[in-house]
Amino acid sequence: MKSFEFNEREEFFMRKILRFDDQLSGDVASSLLSFFESVPFQYGWQSGKDAAFNHWNRGFADVHPDNQEDIEHLLRTSTEHIQPVMAAWKSLKAGLLYGHTLVRCYANAHTYGVEGYPHFDSRTRDNFTTIVYVNRNWAAEWAGETVFLNDSGDIIYSILPKPARIVTFPGDLLHCARAVSRSCPTARMTLIFKTKSGAKNGTE
């Protein structure tokens, strides 16, 4: 029986998926997790134009999905008391996402029976997605993984939610949010920062 092996293209893409559990300081992470304990979401958002069903969403900057202009000022001047979101962005901008421009910012939520579908976030070169998992608690049996797929539709990488865990990847990687399990007592929530890298070859 032939064992499964990653090809060079898959290995190349997997090296571009970066996962961190300690990028946000304790105070920033704690404030962010507390903030999302009471954030209202609206149902009806699609992960892609061809998605069969919708999920929950909360926008923090009202811009077109293809926006490439800096929107940091929209977070900074928001009247919706989203300081924890701004603090998280400032922390990432000073570290992991140094040299990146913020072009979109929103949050997604998935409850039992609400799944994501494979999609690309952006086909624009040097566009990146950073996911921050913002549930205060998560258990492996609740599922809700973020999965990455190859050109054949096989899963090549999977990441479980974890409080304040961060994953960053190029926007042209096929991925989706898996549904939570029947035993999950809460919504799976993620904060999304879409950015444009100033580096010619991606993140610095």
Domain range summary for the chain, segments of one domain joined by +? 19-197
* Average pLDDT for the chain: 89
Name the CATH code of domain 19-197 (choices 2.170.150.20, 3.40.50.300, 2.60.120.620, 1.10.10.10): 2.60.120.620
Q: Is it the case that residue 201 has pLDDT exceeding 50?
A: no
Beta strands in 118-173 (DSSP E): 127-133, 146-149, 155-159, 166-170
Q: Is it the case that residue 49 has pLDDT exceeding 50?
A: yes
How far is the C-alpha of 72 from the C-alpha of 88, rounded, in Å? 12
**pLDDT tens digit string along 64-107?**
989 999 999 999 998 788 999 999 999 999 999 999 999 999 99
How far is the C-alpha of 186 from the C-alpha of 180, rounded, in Å? 9
Tell me the pTM.
0.89
